Amino acid sequence: MAALTIEQLAELRRAVITGATLVTWDKPTINTAFQEIEDWFEANRAALGAAITGPFNATQKKRLVKMWLQQKYGRE
């Protein structure tokens, strides 16, 4: 599993805090949560890529997932 760097964790924390009205967690707790998300995604990346059928290469599949995640976030 890829470990998130200090810089990546700081960027993610800043993004979460933006617009937040109440913060109920501390830095180690949110760092752990982000690392767990990273670990889950990396563990399941191959299965997601295999689930996408059609004439898509790896770069195109990555973009498809990105677009889906952005749209999903907007509707939930």
pLDDT in tens, 18-55: 877 788 889 999 999 999 999 999 999 999 999 999 99
For residue 1, tell me if it sits in a domain: no
The set of long-range contacts for 2-6, using a CB threshold of 8 Å and a minimum separation of 24, is: 2/38, 2/42, 3/35, 3/38, 4/31, 4/34, 4/35, 4/38
Lookup result for tokens 């109920």:
24
Query: Residue 28 sits in which domain range?
Result: 6-75
pTM: 0.82
Query: Is 52 within the bounds of a domain?
Result: yes
Tokens of 59: 């770069």
Q: How many domains does the chain have?
A: 1
Q: How confident is the model at residue 1 (pLDDT cuts 50, 70, 90)?
A: low
Q: How far apart are CA 55 and CA 76, in angstroms?
A: 29
